[in-house]
Amino acid sequence: MPAPGPLMTVTLSADEARRIILRAQGFLGADARRGGVPAVLRRLGAVQLDTISVLARSHELVAYSRLGAVGRAKVERAYWDDPARAFEYWCHAACVLPIGDWPLYAFRRRYYAARKYRWHEVPPTVDKVLHQVRENGPVTTADLGGAKNGGPWWDWSDAKIAIEWLLDTGQVVCARRVGWRRVYDLTERAVPAHLLAEDLSDAECVTRLTRTAGRALGVATRADLVDFLRLKAPEAAFLDGALATGAAGLVPVRVSGWPDRAADAWADPAALESEPRGRHRTTLLSPFDSLVWDRPRTSRVFGFDHRLEAYVPKDKRVHGYFTMPVLAGGRLIGRVDPAREGTTLVARQVGLEPRAGRGAVEALAGALAEAAAWVGCDAVRVERADPAVTIALSAALDEAL
């Protein structure tokens, strides 16, 4: 694969693009497993958080899917340690982000500060809450008087609204969790001084984040990059400028085999310097994993239609509550809706793609067996699948467990 010159368009096949993406995301080759969980976070640039926990929480699953049976306590320490290696903020969604990227989100902090509104009106007690953090921090919402008023989940207390607005505007930071509770502290106590001293314009922030997103995604369309960072129109204009001038450090590529409207894309030039080689990871993926979090991109790259159905009414679900795509041989070969009953991992629903190919059942069995061992289960039970798949999968599981 030829290395590109300045803004020279390189043509890639769909398979070449897919392998570059897999390597960039840490699923192809031995290099992806070097450096452990901290390196995974640096490679991905953002690890999405979510409250749902089935086998484990999504941020734990992201590390597991790339590294295998890494200890869950080790995952937590890599994200939330002292001194802080990461912080929580808004990227694609609520994400764990490398602490070194703190200056790059100044554009978003300024946006929230100017907006003076969150999902709720910011209460007049916000200065009092900031004083409490200054005097007593680090603190949780329990220390501040509680997170809710007692009604639905969105019925936040004034203290919760205030502390989250202070987080949005960068006056406090969450660099650690206790259980699933955020621990807040003054930013100057958690973020290194040299990072606080960086003063970047909005354009500089978006330019550098575009480079981060491009490297993490490997090959990406403009829409992919905008979705990774969830940019609004004025911010996306900075992204367009950074791409056009080369300031983002990405080069244009054309992917033959992608739909015409998405064939023009961008790539990290370092990713084009060598052919992706090595072993493919076989694993279950969190539905919030950055390999699959963008549905149009997942369909384009893998020919796989993925949808999270946790928030879909039960009687309207097709594949299940927390359906996890199955990655094997660099393809998405199927999906599993998992659960746990004691020391049994329950595959409540299993489906294989029509084009899964030979060896798919064995690969699925291996992925289920490895996941079961990681969460402390010693058995796997398949509840619902095509009858032929159930028989073959049960036999393969007997060998894998």
Query: What are the tens digits of pLDDT across the range 54-113?
Result: 999 999 999 999 999 888 888 888 888 778 889 999 999 999 999 999 999 999 999 999
**pLDDT recorded at residue 329:** 95
**Most confident region among 43-47, 79-83, 119-123 by mean pLDDT:** 43-47
- pLDDT at 19 exceeding the cut of 70: yes
**pLDDT recorded at residue 78:** 84
Nearest CA among 86, 47, 90 for reference residue 231: 90
Which segments within 230-317 are labelled E, that is strand? 251-256, 264-267, 283-284
Mean pLDDT of 204-209: 98
Which are the contacts of 217, defined by CB distance < 8 A and separation ≥ 6?
Answer: 21, 24, 25, 224, 225, 228, 290
Mean pLDDT of 232-260: 96
Mean pLDDT of 283-294: 97
Which are the contacts of 71, defined by CB distance < 8 A and separation ≥ 6?
Answer: none
3-state secondary structure of 356: coil
**pLDDT recorded at residue 26:** 96
Query: Could you tell me the CA-to-CA distances from 23 to 216, 278, 291 in Å, in that order?
Result: 9, 9, 11
pLDDT tens by residue, 358-393: 899 999 999 999 999 999 999 999 999 898 888 899
Q: What's the pTM?
A: 0.93
Mean pLDDT of the chain: 92
3-state secondary structure of 277: coil
- Where does the pLDDT of residue 181 fall: very low under 50, low under 70, confident under 90, or very high at 90 and above? confident
Which runs of consecutive H residues, i.e. helices, occur in 87-192? 106-115, 126-136, 141-144, 158-168, 187-190
- Where does the pLDDT of residue 5 fall: very low under 50, low under 70, confident under 90, or very high at 90 and above? very low
Residue of 157 and 109 predicted with greater confidence: 109
Which are the contacts of 147, defined by CB distance < 8 A and separation ≥ 6?
Answer: 141, 156, 157, 159, 160
Mean pLDDT of 150-155: 59
Choose the weakest-confidence range: 17-21, 34-38, 338-342. 34-38
- pLDDT at 3 exceeding the cut of 60: no
- pLDDT at 2 exceeding the cut of 60: no
Which segments within 158-295 are labelled E, that is strand? 172-178, 181-186, 219-220, 251-256, 264-267, 283-284
- pLDDT at 261 exceeding the cut of 60: yes
DSSP at 32: G
- pLDDT at 343 exceeding the cut of 90: yes
Which helix (DSSP H) or strand (DSSP E) does residue 215 occupy? helix 202-217
- pLDDT at 150 exceeding the cut of 70: no
| Whole-angstrom Cα Rg for the chain | 22
